[in-house]
């Protein structure tokens, strides 16, 4: 039964998948530019977290309406993929509804599929409405929400709607054809059966519609897959590893640089022997920057964060600095990281990095420096952060925006001594008095003077 | 009334060590608790509670130094580690096992960041410590009815809440008072920062439309409504920011900012 059509399909599918693998390899290469960090500990806790936060969408449910709508699209994506698998097999071997042998299970599956597909259309339509008509602030505002991120979001939503309609067209025509030929189609189709007559009763037309619906769906999916690496929609893949590798310790614990510890210990105790520095391939010691100036100074996990970001803006909408009109937007930090990484490393198929300067965004005072710091992210943004962790708490896919902000700050202070003057004064106070204020250390215990309390008798 | 009062002599680690003794718990006072006039009252209230329940405690006195938290959050990892390593040397020399502190920043730093540098202690925040005293019946909060009908709203400190997932302890402490506890819209994990964290306490805010503490104070005032109310805090920086906010809104006559330890000390009749 294998015909020319099947061979064409096989070639299209192989090209689509091959292109996708090629793009994934580029992204993998980009992420591995980052510094190494060990996140292989506690696999069982990590699996639990992945089940709850990634599979279970736990953190989405802080906001009910988008959570429920997103759940439709998410579950729809997971379940409809089973039908996609069938479409693939049918396409390669020239079979027709090859999984139909599963009987009642297949009936149930198709029924759930159709209901989910309808819900996906409803959810995507509401999402489009929220973005373009009611303009929910976190989706519609912010200097980082430039032309491309806005278009990207609409492209995805419209594509998803088109894919679902193609699926329905295929099912409706298939169902009607089966009825005309007096045989029963495997599966139950609660949505399509209500619209079974809309394409008329001409067998030729119906066969064409079924064929076109089928092809649009499958080519659409392959195209969509290859669009993902250029898009925020890449989160549908990255959310899972990103949650798995997210930090397990308390949010208040910031990283400690052991190189600095050795330096201080050697300073305090001249007999202290710091471990030999790591050598590069030519046998020269690797001198690491303190803090982060550019993307290669970040860890692979921080770079992975940037590929996981869905640009939903929950982080920015809860950021106290952003709420009160400061320039800082945690989402911008993450989006800038990805743009800079792709500018410096490998590009995906569609790539339009944002240079705020060229775009005339005056508020963001970037320079021409080819680096993440100042080229994309300005000190003003970094100094506005209160390290309150609201962004980290809010992120549905466990991005750690704060760690990137802190590492950039560290570069400003440790490598450039570029802290605001008042912070330098605070540092001096700690060095001299052991307190951030200019009080003499000898007065530290004065609070205990003349302290009375009621006597017990 | 002089005869009903006794002078408290706060014990230091140095004195205890000289007598060959070790305290049950070290009270880490922190810089704000030592130097900030407003927060010194919290330190004193907490000492009154410690004295009242008869816990064997001590402080480091002049041997204490900044944990390094503001330096670390400002990006100065070098200065942070200098402070941390020096403090750890002192704490380890005294064989300190358990530390209580009223400052969430000190709490977070010693609990989470000192272990990597060789400082391993059981660290608890005073909200958890007070919660335990109340649960064990050591603090009966007999004077709690003085708070009857008074509206109190608790402002979550980021370094206690999101940073360390401690949301219920301070609320349990406040629940022991006979007050009317009201929650702000943004509370617990969704709590809004007071604006002082990340070393913002020591600098001017970056350009913007509003100061963060004003945004938060407005929320607190709206939650408390008209009449007298209390904004309860459990962090020295939050206290400064909320106090400044209340003054900015000219509400200092009707709305007071208190630390949870002060409220318990008041209810227990330890301080006025």
Does residue A332 contact residue A142 with C-beta atoms inside 8 Å?
yes
Q: Under an 8 A CB cutoff, do B117 and A261 touch?
A: yes
Assign A390 a pLDDT band (cuts: 50, 70, 90).
Answer: very high
Residue B213 included in any domain: yes
Residues B14 and B113 in one domain: yes
Burial label for A291, CB within 10 Å (0-12, 13-18, 19+), is buried
Q: Which of A102, A88, A96 lies closest to A9, judged by CA?
A: A88
Residue A359 to residues A335, A364, A380, B123, Cα–Cα distance (Å): 16, 10, 19, 50
Domain parsing of chain A, residue ranges: 4-32+63-230, 258-433
Count structural domains, chain B. 2
**pLDDT of amino acid A153:** 95
Residues B44 and B73 in one domain: yes
Contact residues, chain A, for B189 at CB < 8 Å: 393
Residue B40 included in any domain: yes
Residues B204 and B260 in one domain: yes
CA-based nearest distance B112→chain A, Å: 5
Does residue A354 contact residue A144 with C-beta atoms inside 8 Å?
yes
Residues B25 and B123 in one domain: yes
B204 DSSP assignment: P
B5 → closest Cβ in A318, A446, A452: A452
- Extract the tokens encoding B137: 């019946």
Longest dimension (CA), chain A: 103
Q: Under an 8 A CB cutoff, do A443 and B35 touch?
A: yes
Residues B151 and B61 in one domain: no
The residues that bridge with B57 in the sheet, in sequence order, are B25
Comparing A132 with A284, the larger pLDDT belongs to A132
- CATH number of B29's domain: 3.40.50.1860
CA–chain centroid gap for B214, Å, is: 21
CA–chain centroid gap for A259, Å, is: 31
Contact residues, chain A, for B212 at CB < 8 Å: 320-321, 323-324, 386
Residue B92 included in any domain: yes
Residues B6 and B71 in one domain: yes
Question: Is the per-residue pLDDT at A457 higher than 70?
Answer: no
Q: Under an 8 A CB cutoff, do A256 and B73 touch?
A: no
Q: Which of B10, B30, B51 lies closest to B105, judged by CA?
A: B30
Nearest residue of chain A to residue B65 (CA atoms): A434
Ramachandran sector of residue B227 (left: φ over 0; alpha: ψ -120 to 50; beta: rest) = left
Does residue B39 contact residue B45 with C-beta atoms inside 8 Å?
no
- Residue window 369-408, chain A: list those with CB within 8 Å of chain B: 380, 383-390, 392-393, 406
What is the number of H-type helices and E-type strands within chain B? Answer: 11, 9
Residue B172 included in any domain: yes
B3-46 pLDDT, tens per residue? 588 999 999 999 999 999 999 999 999 999 999 999 999 999 99
Q: Which of B78, B83, B77 lies closest to B31, judged by CA?
A: B83
ipTM: 0.96
Assign A131 a pLDDT band (cuts: 50, 70, 90).
Answer: very high
Cα separation, A422 vs A439, whole angstroms: 16
Contact residues, chain A, for B163 at CB < 8 Å: 250-252, 389
Residues B37 and B107 in one domain: yes
Q: Which of B172, B174, B137 lies closest to B53, judged by CA?
A: B137
Question: Is the per-residue pLDDT at A358 higher than 80?
Answer: no
Sheet containing B151-154: give its strands across. Answer: B180-182, B151-154, B229-233, B255-259
Q: To the nearest 10°, report the CA torsion of B123, B30, B128, A255.
A: -50
Range A400-419 average pLDDT = 98
Residues B215 and B182 in one domain: yes
Nearest residue of chain B to residue A251 (CA atoms): B163
Does the beta carbon of B79 lie under 8 angstroms from any beta carbon of chain A? yes
Contact residues, chain A, for B10 at CB < 8 Å: 445, 448, 451
The range of the structural domain enclosing residue B17 comes to 2-129
- CATH number of B144's domain: 3.40.50
A39 DSSP assignment: -
**Whole-prediction pTM value?**
0.95
Q: Under an 8 A CB cutoff, do A320 and B212 touch?
A: yes
Comparing A276 with A11, the larger pLDDT belongs to A11
Q: Which of B129, B149, B165 is the last residue of a domain?
A: B129
Residue A430 to residues A285, A434, A438, B78, Cα–Cα distance (Å): 33, 4, 8, 12
Residue B272 included in any domain: no
Does the beta carbon of A38 lie under 8 angstroms from any beta carbon of chain B? no
Q: Under an 8 A CB cutoff, do A320 and B269 touch?
A: no
A227-273 pLDDT, tens per residue? 999 999 999 999 999 999 999 999 999 999 999 999 999 988 889 98
Does residue B45 contact residue B52 with C-beta atoms inside 8 Å?
no
Q: Under an 8 A CB cutoff, do A325 and B209 touch?
A: yes
Q: Under an 8 A CB cutoff, do B162 and A389 touch?
A: yes
Cα separation, A194 vs A207, whole angstroms: 19
Question: Is the per-residue pLDDT at A388 higher than 80?
Answer: yes
A176-224 pLDDT, tens per residue? 999 999 988 889 999 999 999 999 989 999 999 888 888 888 888 899 9
Question: Is the per-residue pLDDT at A449 higher than 50?
Answer: yes
CA-based nearest distance B194→chain A, Å: 8
Cα separation, A365 vs A380, whole angstroms: 9
How confident is the prediction along chain B (272 residues), in pLDDT tens digits per residue? 455 889 999 999 999 999 999 999 999 999 999 999 999 999 999 999 999 999 999 999 999 999 999 999 999 999 999 999 999 999 999 999 999 999 999 999 999 999 999 999 999 999 999 999 999 999 988 877 778 889 999 999 999 999 999 999 999 999 999 899 999 999 999 999 999 999 999 999 999 999 999 999 999 999 999 888 999 999 999 999 999 999 999 999 999 999 999 999 999 989 75
Provide, rounded to the nearest whole percent, the portion of chain A with pLDDT above 70: 99
Sheet containing B98-101: give its strands across. Answer: B57-58, B25-28, B98-101, B122-125
Question: Is the per-residue pLDDT at A2 higher than 80?
Answer: no
**pLDDT of amino acid B3:** 58
Instruction: Please give the angle made by the CA atoms of B40, B41 and B43, to the nearest 5 degrees.
Output: 60
Comparing A96 with B36, the larger pLDDT belongs to B36
Residues B105 and B159 in one domain: no
Does the beta carbon of A260 lie under 8 angstroms from any beta carbon of chain B? yes
């Amino acid at each position: 039964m294998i015909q020319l059509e099947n061979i064409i399909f096989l070639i299209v599918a192989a090209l689509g998948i091959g292109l996708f693998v090629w793009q994934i390899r580029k992204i993998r290469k980009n992420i591995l530019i980052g510094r190494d960090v060990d996140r292989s500990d506690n696999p069982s806790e990590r699996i639990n977290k992945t089940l709850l936060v990634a599979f279970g969408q736990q953190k989405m449910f802080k906001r009910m309406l988008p959570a429920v709508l997103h759940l439709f699209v998410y579950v729809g994506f997971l379940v409809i993929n089973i039908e996609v698998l069938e479409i693939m097999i049918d396409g390669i071997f020239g079979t027709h509804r090859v999984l139909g042998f599963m009987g009642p299970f297949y009936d149930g599956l198709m029924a759930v599929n159709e209901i989910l597909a309808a819900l996906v259309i409803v959810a995507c339509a509401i999402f489009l409405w929220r973005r373009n008509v009611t303009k929910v602030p976190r989706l519609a505002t912010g200097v980082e929400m430039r032309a491309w991120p806005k278009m990207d979001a609409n492209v995805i939503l419209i594509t998803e709607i088109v894919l679902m309609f193609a699926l329905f067209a295929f099912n409706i025509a298939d169902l009607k054809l089966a009825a005309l030929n007096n045989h029963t189609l495997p599966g139950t189709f609660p949505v399509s059966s209500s619209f079974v007559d809309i394409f008329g009763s001409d067998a030729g037309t119906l066969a064409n519609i079924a064929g076109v619906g089928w092809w649009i769906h499958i080519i659409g999916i392959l195209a969509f897959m290859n669009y993902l690496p250029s898009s925020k929609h890449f989160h549908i893949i990255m959310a899972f590893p990103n949650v798995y590798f997210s930090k397990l310790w308390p949010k208040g614990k910031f990283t400690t640089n052991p190189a600095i510890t050795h330096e201080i210990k050697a300073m305090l105790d001249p007999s202290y022997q710091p471990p030999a520095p790591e050598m590069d391939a030519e046998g020269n010691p690797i001198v690491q920057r303190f803090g982060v100036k550019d993307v290669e100074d970040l860890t692979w996990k921080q770079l992975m964060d940037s590929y996981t970001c869905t640009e939903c803006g929950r982080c920015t909408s809860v950021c106290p600095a952003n709420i009160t009109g400061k320039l800082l937007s945690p989402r911008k930090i993450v989006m800038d990281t990805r743009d800079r990484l792709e500018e410096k490393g490998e590009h995906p198929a569609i790539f339009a990095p944002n240079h705020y300067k060229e775009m005339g965004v005056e508020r963001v005072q970037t320079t021409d420096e080819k680096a993440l710091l100042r080229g994309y992210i300005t000190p003003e943004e970094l100094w506005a952060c209160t390290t309150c962790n609201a962004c980290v708490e809010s992120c549905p896919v466990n991005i750690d925006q704060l760690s990137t902000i802190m590492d950039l700050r560290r570069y400003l202070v440790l490598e450039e001594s570029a802290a605001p003057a008042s912070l330098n004064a605070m540092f001096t106070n700690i060095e001299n008095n052991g307190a951030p204020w200019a009080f003499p250390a000898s007065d530290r215990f004065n609070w205990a003077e003349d302290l009375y309390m009621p006597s017990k008798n | 009334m002089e005869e009903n009062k006794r002078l408290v002599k706060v014990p230091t680690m140095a004195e205890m060590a000289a007598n060959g003794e070790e305290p049950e718990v070290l009270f880490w006072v922190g810089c704000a608790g030592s130097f900030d006039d407003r927060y010194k009252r919290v330190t004193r209230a907490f000492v009154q509670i410690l004295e009242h329940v008869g816990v064997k405690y001590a402080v480091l006195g002049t041997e204490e130094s900044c944990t390094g938290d503001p330096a670390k959050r400002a990006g100065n990892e070098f200065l942070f580690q200098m402070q941390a390593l020096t403090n750890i040397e002192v704490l380890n020399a005294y064989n300190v096992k358990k530390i209580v502190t009223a400052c969430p920043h000190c709490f977070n730093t010693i609990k989470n960041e000192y272990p990597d540098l060789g400082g391993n202690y059981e660290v608890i925040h005073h909200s958890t410590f007070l919660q335990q005293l109340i649960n064990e019946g050591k603090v009966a909060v007999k004077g709690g009815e003085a708070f009857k009908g008074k509206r109190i709203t608790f402002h979550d400190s980021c370094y206690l809440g999101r940073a360390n997932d401690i949301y219920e302890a301070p609320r349990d402490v406040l629940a022991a008072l006979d007050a009317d506890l009201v929650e702000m819209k943004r509370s617990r994990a969704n709590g809004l920062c007071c604006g002082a964290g990340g070393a913002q306490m020591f600098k001017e805010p970056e350009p913007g439309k509003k100061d963060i503490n004003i945004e938060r104070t407005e929320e607190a005032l709206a939650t408390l409504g008209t009449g007298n109310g209390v904004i309860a805090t459990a962090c020295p920086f939050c206290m400064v920011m909320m106090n400044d906010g209340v003054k900015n809104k000219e509400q200092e006559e009707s709305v007071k900012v208190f630390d949870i330890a002060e409220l318990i000390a008041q209810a227990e009749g330890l301080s006025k």
